[in-house]
Structure 1
Amino acid sequence: MPVALAVATTALLTVGTAYAEPGAAPPTGEAAKPTKPAIRNAVWLTDRRVALWVDSPAMGTQIQVQLLLARDWNAKPEAKFPMLLLLDGLRAADDQSGWTKDAGAEAFYADKNVTVVLPVGGAAGFYSDWKQPDHGKTYKWETFLTKELPPLLDRDWRTTNVRGLAGLSMGGTAAMTLAARNPGFVRYAASFSGMLTLTTLGMPQAVAYAMRDAGGYNADAMYGPPTDAEWEAHDPYALAEKLKGLSLYVSSGSGLAGVYDIPAGIPGVSTNWTGMALEVLSRFSSRQFVAKLNKLSIPVQVNYRPSGTHSWPYWDFEMRQSWPQAASALGVEAAKPDGAAAGAILPVALGKSWLGDCLTPEYQLSGGVAQAFRGGRVLWSGATGAHPVGGMIGGAFEGAAGPAGALGFPTSDETPIQGGAQQAFQHGTIVFRDGKAEIHAT
């Protein structure tokens, strides 16, 4: 495996290029607050994964959003693709989404023809517009995700208004809430272990406890006290009728120890006590929500697993399990097309196991051809022959317009250097060292 590819799987946000500085702190102070939505910075992490920093006037700061670009994004530069937003859980981190950090979303969606949108951050925020700031943050996630971000992605990143939402735990709640509160925004909504009744007896208190436990967040700043009408205005159960016409998916475990849990020595009991309790709560609320949908004659695909706790391996499973339904709702094929390497690309593919399986047929480029694999691409021209490009070097190359840009086609494979790796191109070199991929054009 190339050095730059290996590091790309573990230190994603420490990398940049000569023309983009990643990881910079968002502007602070009144003067720096954005006045209109804009993409301020884009850092290519691989040839199909991009980190964006987006100005959000609603939140008064920059928000990081990562994209897993559709399978054919490079092969069909004029095409546009549906969007699937994947929402995180209560402990959403500020460096990258749990879907790439704790689950296998990047590899799984590599052969899917949708662009996956991963909002980063927002711990305990329920992707809502909060009543008041808390912890120095002005959470206005609903405005950001439904109003500010989509036009930018449609314009600059070739997404369409065919959209879906899926999320785990807090994100599952938000998937249903956002879908119901914003008619026409999505065609598909999926909840994996979401809390789908927010106003039943004891639920506001349970949510408030979980928010405090996740980082000291105050539920009163979000929706007010439990008697405030904002709780019902964001309750999937209360909003159920507004989900008519959407493709819906709901899943949860039972809370009993499952195949991904560590047994505690008592039958059915896991060492993940908190995960057991949360999944029981999710199952209870999901059953109530589904019963309401059934009463309203709204179809929903339900997967109640006989075991499993509130933890990432089960959400990774549901991501895969729910994909055929998501694909159908978004109008894309569920399976990748047939394709195999041939000609000059074949020996390269056979000799570089890190490339993985083939994702696309060969496609034409100006002056050559390319073929996409799960781990990167192989590019060929008559002048250079065939060479693989992947990882952060591949990201820097794509960010510089690929072979159509100043670098031209690769003339060598990636080679190790002290502290990193480098790769030669017709008109320059990309050097990966100290967590940065830098372009040296000639």
Structure 2
Amino acid sequence: MRRILAIAAVAAALLVPTVTVPVQAQPGVSAVQRVEWLSDRRVSLWVHSAAMNTPIQVQMLLARDWNLRPDAKFPMLLMLDGLRAQDDENGWTKDADAEGFYADKNVNVVLPVGGQASWYSDWLAPDNGFTYKWETFLTKELLPILERDWRTTNVRGVQGLSMGGTAAMNLAGRNPGLMKYVASYSGLLTTTTLGMPQAITFANKDAGGFDAGAMWGPPGSPEWEAHDPYLLADKLKDVSMYVSSGSGLAGAHDSLGEVPLVSDNWAGTGLEILARLSTQNFVAKLEKLEIPVQANYRPAGTHSWPYWDFEMRQSWNQAAAALGTDQGGSDCALGGAIAGFAQAANWLGHCLTAEYPAASGIAQDFPNGRVFHSAATGTHAVSGRIGGAYAGIGSASSPLGLPTGDEHGLPDGRGRMQTFEGGSIYWTPQTGAQVVRGALLAEWGRQGYEGSPAGYPVAAEAHTPSREGSVQSFEHGPMFYSPPTGAHLVQGFVLDKYSLLGFENSALGFPVAAEAPLKDLGRFSRFEGGNIYWSPLSGAWSVRNGPLLDAWGAQGFENSRLGYPVSDEFTVPGGIQQNFQTGFIVVRDGKSEVHGV
């Protein structure tokens, strides 16, 4: 893995401009460091936050017409997680079905990942190993990136559950004009009233051991008041608002406890009662200020995900109206060249778009993938992680072109692959989905594809930075290519040595042949400017082309009395020398002297 990372660090993107290459974080600069496409319309961005000095994962569910209208921009809906937000995935996709629900909605859904017990605010001090500056990140660092690079307009909404509901109201109230729409599901909307600071302090300790004093100072301090939606109510008069809460009584998604009508989820019951009381107080304040709000008090329900998933769906019509987009659904029809395939592949779901041009063919979007058709390639669906990799490089407009086969499993039971006009995409859970094409694909295929010594690809093909050529990393080593030398795998201890010398930028240049076995378990690889030899007793050393290599060759290489090299060449007075197991060779004025021990 160290060898693979070393190569990746010096590589630049090869395929198309839509591929984002990992970039080094720059002090004071917020930027996307890495992009991973999880499907054709779900993508993970790792955004370096200058304020927090760390990368933050932000997932996006792209708008329904993202592919249909490649020049269009879409409004944004920011969805905030609860108190126990995890670092792998936002709860709205992990514990609720936001991905399925918004599949036919024309809005870019933005899902920050992480921020446990943060209340998505800027903390006064670091705590528990974190420097939380979430409000700065969400309002000042992330938005310009989404608007510049991810086809997102400045028409925005924010919604969240529990902690995220509180934070949604705070973000909207503390940043007037930023949001057109805000929704709180079971949020604590009065944070400074009697007992609430203590409840929040206890919750933060319980959810990861965080100190609320590092967040907003001691109860009663100005920062507590500055983060109380109740006290910010007058700042929300121009925002479309939706609030909801259950009653704490057991509902349709709860298991009954020993007490009649009460769930066995005691924590969920207590938290929802707090949310209900604080939401009612908040709404009363809005009514006093004559600020409209859509309030929904449910007769039952605890502090748990099934109820928040329900509220997400119930509030959509209001969100869509505020964001100026349609209500969703689809009026598309199956009737073109793709119709027969889509009707047979019912796993795709109902169509989301009409058929539209895609390079030399046509395409149509579905909730679970896209279908492409041309007379030359036939009709094939592209979905899942392979569909994500395909979307990430530009789909049919990329060098891969249109799909020529369907995705299928491989004989090892581990991976999956799909063929395209210009190459293939391979996927495993360990390596992700990677494109292989051209001479690299041909050589990998000659060696046995995923069953070859290289294993599966683990990264995209990339330009070699200083010479014309490319490199692609596989599980067991990289494969290098240049027009004059072809494609060749370098691996093991030979690769370690090649790395130390500087890869293709060294005097050795590109590899010109596959690694080959030698006596005594030795190995060697040939390069443009010489060879690398390895054996268990001598280690790995290079022997450069020229009179020194010629002299060693005249003796019989590693089969000679000199044996394997035990050093690289080095300068001596008047020439160069290289040491071998049982002797050395010196070259002065172009003449070689062989010395045995």
TM-aligned CA deviation for residue 342 of structure 1: 2.0
Residues 219 and 107 of structure 1, relative CA distance in 2, 3 Å threshold: same
Which amino acid in the other structure matches residue 203 of structure 2?
A
Quote the residue 2:461 is aligned against. none
Which amino acid in the other structure matches residue 229 of structure 2?
P
Instruction: Give the gaps of 5 or more residues in structure 1.
Output: 1-16
**Structure 1 segments of 4+ aligned residues over 4 angstroms from their partners:** 17-22
Quote the residue 2:426 is aligned against. 431
Cα RMSD over matched residues?
Answer: 1.8
User: Could you tell me how far apart the structure 2 residues matched to 1:400 and 1:383 are?
Assistant: 22
Alignment partner for residue 171 of structure 2, among 167, 170, 178? Answer: 178
User: Could you tell me how far apart the structure 2 residues matched to 1:124 and 1:335 are?
Assistant: 33
Q: Deviations over 1:107-156 (max 9, x none)?
A: 10010000000000000000000000011111000000000000100111
Residues 78 and 287 of structure 1, relative CA distance in 2, 3 Å threshold: same
2:364 counterpart of 1:371: yes
Which amino acid in the other structure matches residue 119 of structure 1?
P
Alignment partner for residue 142 of structure 1, among 135, 140, 152? Answer: 135
TM-score normalised by length of structure 2: 0.69
Contact 1:188 1:329 in 2 (8 A): yes
Higher Cα Rg: structure 1 or 2? 2
Alignment partner for residue 287 of structure 2, among 289, 294, 299? Answer: 294
TM-aligned CA deviation for residue 37 of structure 1: 1.1
Contact 1:34 1:61 in 2 (8 A): no
Residues 35 and 264 of structure 1, relative CA distance in 2, 3 Å threshold: same
Quote the residue 1:333 is aligned against. 326
Contact 1:18 1:438 in 2 (8 A): no
Which amino acid in the other structure matches residue 427 of structure 1?
G
Quote the residue 2:510 is aligned against. none
Q: Deviations over 1:45-100 (max 9, x none)?
A: 00000000001111111111000000001111000000000000000000010000
Quote the residue 1:13 is aligned against. none
SS at structure 2 position matched to 1:165: strand
User: Could you tell me how far apart the structure 2 residues matched to 1:18 and 1:408 are?
Assistant: 15
1:118-157 equivalences in 2 (<5 Å): 118-157=111-150
User: Could you tell me how far apart the structure 1 residues matched to 2:115 and 2:259 are?
Assistant: 36
SS at structure 2 position matched to 1:45: strand
Q: Deviations over 1:223-281 (max 9, x none)?
A: 00002110000100000000001100000000000000011143211111000000000
Quote the residue 1:225 is aligned against. 218
Which amino acid in the other structure matches residue 312 of structure 1?
W
User: Could you tell me how far apart the structure 2 residues matched to 1:256 and 1:372 are?
Assistant: 42
Instruction: Give the gaps of 5 or more residues in structure 2.
Output: 1-12, 439-597
Which amino acid in the other structure matches residue 323 of structure 1?
W
Q: Deviations over 1:421-442 (max 9, x none)?
A: 1111001011112341111122
2:36 counterpart of 1:35: no
TM-aligned CA deviation for residue 340 of structure 1: 1.8
Alignment partner for residue 44 of structure 1, among 37, 41, 49? Answer: 37
Q: Deviations over 1:186-237 (max 9, x none)?
A: 1000000000000001100000000100110000000000021100001000
Residues 338 and 73 of structure 1, relative CA distance in 2, 3 Å threshold: same
Residues 18 and 314 of structure 1, relative CA distance in 2, 3 Å threshold: farther
Contact 1:39 1:55 in 2 (8 A): yes
TM-score normalised by length of structure 1: 0.92
Alignment partner for residue 212 of structure 1, among 205, 210, 216? Answer: 205
User: Could you tell me how far apart the structure 2 residues matched to 1:174 and 1:86 are?
Assistant: 10
Q: Comparing both chains, which one has the higher relative contact order based on Cα–Cα distances under 8 Å and sequence gaps of 6 or more?
A: 1
TM-aligned CA deviation for residue 21 of structure 1: 12
Number of aligned residue pairs: 420
Which amino acid in the other structure matches residue 441 of structure 1?
R
Contact 2:106 2:328 in 1 (8 A): no
Contact 1:344 1:385 in 2 (8 A): no
2:355 counterpart of 1:362: yes
Quote the residue 2:235 is aligned against. 242
Quote the residue 1:413 is aligned against. 406
TM-aligned CA deviation for residue 353 of structure 1: 2.0
Contact 1:378 1:386 in 2 (8 A): yes
Contact 1:18 1:439 in 2 (8 A): no
User: Could you tell me how far apart the structure 2 residues matched to 1:316 and 1:77 are?
Assistant: 30
User: Could you tell me how far apart the structure 2 residues matched to 1:158 and 1:189 are?
Assistant: 21
User: Could you tell me how far apart the structure 1 residues matched to 2:312 and 2:26 are?
Assistant: 36
Which amino acid in the other structure matches residue 436 of structure 2?
H
Which amino acid in the other structure matches residue 110 of structure 1?
A
Identity over aligned pairs, percent? 61
